[in-house]
Amino acid sequence: MLSIIIPLYNREELIKNSLDSVLMQTNPHWECLVVDDGSTDNSCDVVEEYAKNDPRIILLRRTEDRPKGPSACRNIGCEHAKGEYVYYLDSDDILEPHFCENISEQFEDNPGIDFIAVHVALFRGSIHDLEWLPPAPVPDIPVLDYFLFHSFKASTQTFCWRKTLLDKFPRHWPEDMRRGVDRVCYYRILTKQPKGMWWKKRIQLYLRIPKTTLFASPNDRISNQKDSFYLSQHFVVATRVFEAYRTNGLLNNKSLTLYLNYCLNRERNILLHRQFQAAKSFYREILSVSTEFHMSSKYGWMAYLYMKVWWLFPFHKLAQRLFSVIKTSVCSFMKTSKTLKN
């Protein structure tokens, strides 16, 4: 059985789409644990109505002794999960109808694996209007090497886990954090080097991007990129991920380069929003790590340069947007010209 865990906060409309996609699963062996985070709208009423019609849908509530936030809700869901496999779904995402069937087959055909990397497509409004498709075929690199040494792109929906692995990490979601919790949670597990594999299918999940902040939940609006608390959390994420690498002896040229480049990107993004105190934290971290591992000639110098030319970054972002508009216009013109010619 697959346990699908959904944290919920003020999503009375969007949660219907998510639960409908769960009910449409071709494999009936699942349970869906929806954990409410203190919603103030009718979200719980909606879930209770679904639960009346299908006992596989279970509504839980975060207790007052646990901190507010999706991390505590996901931990509570995992503590109550009875399935052999666990998948963390957000309350505005949509599963492909064969998700449960395919994931069960993949685990049964590969009894030695602990997790599967899932392909996610991004959409706005409708799944028929996709914003981004995952590359096909899967990257030509072992899944663990990809996430540990080539990319920090692991997000909440990236993996489906074997429950016996998660049981080794009680309360694996960091309940003292509000942003970047997925990376901290998953890299603590991944740096233990469990066995995993790429998903063989292309798309199994549709991840919603809000059209505007007007359509986002209060939880989403808190995470505005310009919010100083949100930006400062990037530094906590970086240092905790680095500590996981250090603890598990995975610091090498690849992982250090990946980490320092990640810190440089975060420093640049924070300077873009003129949050200088948070940027200084990243500058000191880059300088400390690069000096310790004799890489300061490149990364320390780049971090210092970013601090000095911070005023250029808004122009850089403007140039990127301008280039994107020109590219879209040219492509549209070429397509129209071709249509008229035909």
Instruction: Write the pLDDT tens digit of every residue in 196-236.
Output: 999 877 678 888 876 644 334 444 444 444 566 777 788 99
Rg (CA), the chain: 22
Which residue, chain included where needed, has tokens 């919920």?
8
Q: Would you state the pLDDT for residue 87?
A: 97
Q: Would you state the pLDDT for residue 318?
A: 63
The CATH classification of domain 2-215, taken from the options 3.40.50.300, 3.40.718.10, 3.90.550.10, 3.90.1300.10: 3.90.550.10
Q: Would you state the pLDDT for residue 248?
A: 95
Residues of the chain with pLDDT under 50: 212-225
Q: Which regions of the chain carry the CATH code 3.90.550.10?
A: 2-215
Q: Would you state the pLDDT for residue 306?
A: 87
Q: Would you state the pLDDT for residue 77?
A: 96
Q: If DSSP codes are grouped into helix, strand and coil, which group holds residue 209?
A: coil
Q: Under a CB-based contact definition with an 8 Å cutoff, are residues 11 and 90 in contact?
A: no
| Bridge partner list, 33 | 5, 58
Q: Would you state the pLDDT for residue 220?
A: 44
Question: Which one, of 86, 55, 91, 95, lies nearest residue 172 by Cα?
Answer: 86
Q: Would you state the pLDDT for residue 322?
A: 60
pTM: 0.85
Q: Would you state the pLDDT for residue 320?
A: 57
Q: Would you state the pLDDT for residue 199?
A: 85
Q: Would you state the pLDDT for residue 277?
A: 85
Instruction: Answer whether the bond into residue 137 is a cis peptide, omega within 30°.
Output: yes
